[in-house]
Structure 1
Amino acid sequence: MLNIGRALRNERLAQNKTQREWIKDVPISVSRYSEIENNTIKNGKKADIDSEKLILLLESNNVDVKEFFSNLQYKSTSIEKLSLEISQAFNNGNYKKASEVKRKIFASSNAPLSLKYRAILIVSELKDHMASLDRKTIDEISSYLYKSSDWVKNKEALILFGNSMPRMNSNILKRRMKQIINEYSAINKFPDRVQRRISTICINYIFNAIFIYKIDAYVQESLDLIKKLPANDVYGLKKLVGQYYLDYLKSDQKHMTELKELLRRCGYNSLASRLDFDIAK
């Protein structure tokens, strides 16, 4: 059985966050939270977190509360270690390490199905952004990840959705994008990491909708969502690309050309060339 401090640390590292980023929406100091993660004992008493703050911490970081407490009960130390290792390999972009951990996960009789699927997705993502993931496996994982409406809050489900768009049935693609638009319509109210993930999905969707599937469903809604992003250096390029696609839909060749020239002048040659490639399609 895991202790809460260690379980929280695993969740935080899986999201590649610092302690300060992790607790930014919870009334607790970094030093106090560090004691909780490290199970620090002072005056004979172990550092702990009250239930209200714990639930707020989990929800503010989009961690499934029920799954978190369930994991506390059934994960063995070895499975906990493998889960942490596969997350760290993903965060470090280490394909070789992720592949090694995946083999260990599948060799373990105690590994839950969710961890096995996560290992498949992580290794495939690091290998070639899921390009070589076969249709049968995609369908199998999709059935598991998308089985409830809460999939729109699940990191692995969102990764799979974003990367499997070109091989998805258009009706399924539209239905799932509608769910995302509805869930994240007020995107600026979500944490930065969520905004980054969802805005990336929107950019990918717009490209696939326009150039692959030749559909207009939820394209404008995706563009509207990107417009809501903060105008800062984190989201600047996405907002520029969103504006470019908006100009494309308006057949505004003048502004399209100006924007690509600006990108090249600023050193974003590959992005500008990619936009040229998109239009050529």
Structure 2
Amino acid sequence: MAVLTETYTLPNGVKIPQVGFGTWQIPNGEAAYNAVAEALRQGYRHIDTAHGYGNEESVGKAIRDSGIPRDQIFVTSKLPAGAKTAEAAQEAFEESMSRLNLGYIDMYLIHAPWPWDDFGGDYREQNRVVWQQMEGFYKSKKVHAIGISNFNVRDQEDLYAHCTIKPMALQLQYYIGFTEDDNVQCAKANGLLVEAFSPLATGFLLNNAAVQAVADHYHVGVAQVALRYVLQKGLLPLPKAVSPAHIEANTQLDFTISEADMQVLDALEDTAPGEDNNRY
């Protein structure tokens, strides 16, 4: 359990719990409320949501109802991928603040460098404008850290070259067999913390026999190996689950994968057939 509350330190000195609870694809209402409430009961203190997930209202309510002091829970949300003007960014941010109703957002990310309906498009100029708004949110102290999500090297480097306050974190898709090394290396070289969403490849990784063999060696499940792998790479995993049993299982990370087994996992490719890789 201690692993959930151990922290990384963002470039501005803010502490962030090294394992987060993801809420992508969990519907607003009872499902999201119950999942977040259970995660908090199980010891999670880092909750990840987004405007685009449509569940900020329930996520915020579960956090408020938990009885846990606000300053003990780290909350991330994200600016919609399609908000590529200053006005759209301001409007979306105010909506997220209202829906969460938590007083402030610990970390706020640009969800993607391009709108989802123009996947991989070149929006570098628009992102410079939007980033100025992000810097404003940060300066207002309504947000304690700012960052980016799904940015490739091209989009990262352009933003770094045109910002006043550098992003503090990059969130991207990352799991055994799909590690986006060029994007990770670019972010780390610029001092960003890298977060791994879909560390279980939205469940497709759970059927991988090679990863199962490693899991058997440590008497744990594939999910635990997948999350521990991310931690040992120095990244922050964001597992998602809805059943109490799976939420609890994902907290059992107090073991170490040997260097030899890490090399076995590093060598795996195509570990999650059926998973849509967020690659461009």
With normalisation by structure 2, the TM-score equals 0.29
From the two aligned structures, give the one with the greater helix fraction: 1
From the two aligned structures, give the one with the greater strand fraction: 2
Q: Higher relative contact order at CA 8 Å, sep ≥6: structure 1 or structure 2?
A: 2
With normalisation by structure 1, the TM-score equals 0.29
Larger Rg: 1
